[in-house]
Chain A
Amino acid sequence: MRLSHALLLAGLTATTGSVAAQADDLTGTLKKVKESGAITIGYRDSSVPFSYLDGDQKPVGYAYEICRKVAAAVKAHLKLDKLEVKLNPVTSATRIPLIANGTIDLECGSTTNNADRQKQASFTNTHFLTATRYVAKKDKKLDRIDDLKGRTVVSTSGTTNIRQINEANTARSMGLTILPAKDHAEAFLMVETGRADAFVMDDVLLASLVAGSKTPDAYVISGEALSKPEPYGIMLRKDDAPFKAVVDAATSALYKSPEGKALYEKWFTQAIPPRGINLKLPMSESMQKAFASPSDSADPAAY
């Protein structure tokens, strides 16, 4: 593993160098950004604390801040005096087509980096690791996956989670009714209002939804997980190596620096807007490793 990492880093440094050398000959996203003087960030409605709307309905979050830093790095790389950062809302269902069709240049949220998606888009270095679990009301006592048999569950359409619960439903013949929701907040609401018994999602998102709800004590997140911890990455257009090299270099430098750790702590161990909740999720060991040696691998075993 370490050898391939070293090779990867070497490769990246090499590409970054060569791109800087031929700045007049830009291609892809870098060329577009240089010509238009603008870069577009895709943000999410309710991926707390990664990318969501605060009290003033402005996007904020951990991944959102990383993207702002990436944008600054792109600006420095292109030696631009001014770079306009445009914002475009995306949902789990629209993010990949919108990256592919050029509506957005960077997708900052909670997008799982997996082999399937790498056929459609590229990912920069991992900024979080999370497993698929589900949240339910405590009084329903649904702690084991098998307890869900015959129930109605909700998940967000376009996520890896809805796919996993669909697969589990078939493999274990659970007889679930699976409702797709537009976004995480809507899905959580289905559980809150009793429309669904459980919401299947990445555990970190579930934890923040519960913490931000009116009655955090009424919910419990399942002990059993439906997947191994999987990496989150910021999404870029596929087959755009020069742009990816700049973004990779920027995120890698950020994650390895004390600033990266501070950024993590700001969003996961301190009070966050809009209501000042604290997620109390100190950096796990695997997260510390992922920051010490940044990687864009989609393989959960790599972390």
Chain B
Amino acid sequence: MNYNWNWGIYFEPSPEGVGTYADMLLSGLQWTVATALSSWVIAFFLGSLIGVMRTLPSKAAQAFGTAYVELFRNIPLLVQMFLWYFVVPELLPESLGTRLKQLPNAPFVTAVVCLGLFTASRVAEQVRAGIQALPRGQGMAGTALGLTVAQTYRHVLLPNAYRIILPPLTSEFLNNLKNTSVALTIGLLELTARARAMQEFSFQVFEAFTAATILYVLINVVVIVLATWLERTVAVPGTR
């Protein structure tokens, strides 16, 4: 095999002039985590809202929720990324479009919005499933107690639903984290993009991708450990 292994490559200075190749990968890791967390905030709140809408008695709310989920679930993420990055600014009034394009961190902002809205459709499905998994009596009890619909959701249904769907939400969180790599196509310098840049500059394909692989596995482990801890902390005593 005519490949020159060089595991010391991580500590060699990168041609970007600041720091080593290891620093380059770590800066990619930071972008990955920042993008994943920011988009998760959008995904979680918007997804919960859409998921709740799909369980409301109002037909209009249900229809809107269903349309949202179908729209965002049936278009590949990469295509959505291109739509947000290349198409949306052209469809807006010119001055606004130009402002959008010249945002200092345009790829980051676009990636966060795109991933947030995409993942929201998946969170919505989990939230809906969680609410529908609860005994119907819970909602009725809320009404009997004189709670409004909003109060019933806030104090009765959602707290229980979130506890049920914590494991699938964790895996949606991990999916969202992995999906940040798709943003490399619009120039986000996240972990996979940095590994690829390292490969291009140093020609050490396998070292670069090995490092990225290990970093991704590590973040996964951290997230799973945190989720397990969270699950235990928020469990209602006596339910397990």
A binds B: yes
A-to-B contact residues, CB < 8 Å: 92-93, 96-97, 100, 116-117, 119-120, 152, 154, 157-158, 162-163, 166-167, 169-171, 177, 179-182, 189-190, 193-195, 237-239
Encoded as 1 (CB less than 8 Å from any A CB) or 0, chain B from 106 to 149 comes to 11000000000000000000000000000000000000000000
Known contacts A157-B200, A238-B2: A193-B101 contact under CB 8 Å = yes
Q: Smallest Cβ distance from B46 to chain A, in angstroms?
A: 26
Known contacts A100-B3, A193-B89: A177-B104 contact under CB 8 Å = yes
Given A169-B16, A170-B18, A193-B89, 11 other A-B residues pairs in contact with their CB atoms under 8 A: A93-B199, A100-B3, A116-B203, A154-B187, A162-B200, A163-B15, A166-B17, A180-B189, A182-B185, A193-B101, A195-B101
In this complex, the member of B98, B104, B193, B203 whose beta carbon has the largest number of chain A beta carbons within 10 angstroms is B203
B184: nearest chain-A partner, CB-CB = A180
Decide if A180 touches B197 in the complex (CB within 8 Å). yes
Decide if A239 touches B2 in the complex (CB within 8 Å). yes
Encoded as 1 (CB less than 8 Å from any A CB) or 0, chain B from 192 to 210 comes to 0100110111010100000
Decide if B17 touches A97 in the complex (CB within 8 Å). no
Cα A97 to Cα B202 with chains together (Å):
11
B106: nearest chain-A partner, CB-CB = A195
Decide if A167 touches B199 in the complex (CB within 8 Å). no
Asked whether any CB of chain A lies closer than 8 Å to the CB of B70, the reply is no
Asked whether any CB of chain A lies closer than 8 Å to the CB of B12, the reply is no
Cα A169 to Cα B15 with chains together (Å):
11
Please classify the interface of chain B as helix (H, G, I), strand (E, B), loop, or mixed, using the class held by over half of its residues.
helix
B17: nearest chain-A partner, CB-CB = A170
Decide if A97 touches B187 in the complex (CB within 8 Å). no
Decide if A193 touches B15 in the complex (CB within 8 Å). no
Cα A252 to Cα B78 with chains together (Å):
44
Decide if A180 touches B187 in the complex (CB within 8 Å). yes
B-side contacts of A119, CB under 8 Å: 4, 203
B-side contacts of A237, CB under 8 Å: 2
Asked whether any CB of chain A lies closer than 8 Å to the CB of B74, the reply is no
Encoded as 1 (CB less than 8 Å from any A CB) or 0, chain B from 71 to 106 comes to 000000000000001100110000000100110101
Cα A152 to Cα B101 with chains together (Å):
11
Decide if A171 touches B89 in the complex (CB within 8 Å). no
Q: How many residues of B contact A (CB 8 A)?
A: 28
Known contacts A119-B203, A170-B18, A238-B2: A180-B102 contact under CB 8 Å = no
B203: nearest chain-A partner, CB-CB = A120
Q: Which single member of A117, A170, A195 contacts B16 (CB below 8 Å)? A: A170
Cα A193 to Cα B3 with chains together (Å):
40
In this complex, the member of A154, A157, A169, A190 whose beta carbon has the largest number of chain B beta carbons within 10 angstroms is A157
Decide if B104 touches A166 in the complex (CB within 8 Å). no
Decide if A194 touches B17 in the complex (CB within 8 Å). no
In this complex, the member of A96, A100, A195, A237 whose beta carbon has the largest number of chain B beta carbons within 10 angstroms is A195
Q: Smallest Cβ distance from B89 to chain A, in angstroms?
A: 7
**Would you give 23 A-B contacts (Cβ < 8 Å), ordered by A?**
A93-B200, A96-B200, A100-B205, A116-B203, A117-B203, A120-B203, A152-B106, A154-B187, A157-B197, A163-B15, A166-B16, A166-B17, A167-B15, A169-B16, A169-B17, A170-B16, A170-B17, A180-B187, A181-B187, A193-B86, A193-B90, A194-B102, A238-B2
B-side contacts of A171, CB under 8 Å: 17
Cα A270 to Cα B199 with chains together (Å):
38
A-side contacts of B15, CB under 8 Å: 163, 166-167
Decide if A179 touches B203 in the complex (CB within 8 Å). no
Q: Smallest Cβ distance from A224 to chain B, in angstroms?
A: 20
Q: Smallest Cβ distance from B111 to chain A, in angstroms?
A: 13
Cα A120 to Cα B205 with chains together (Å):
11
Cα A93 to Cα B101 with chains together (Å):
25
B-side contacts of A92, CB under 8 Å: 200
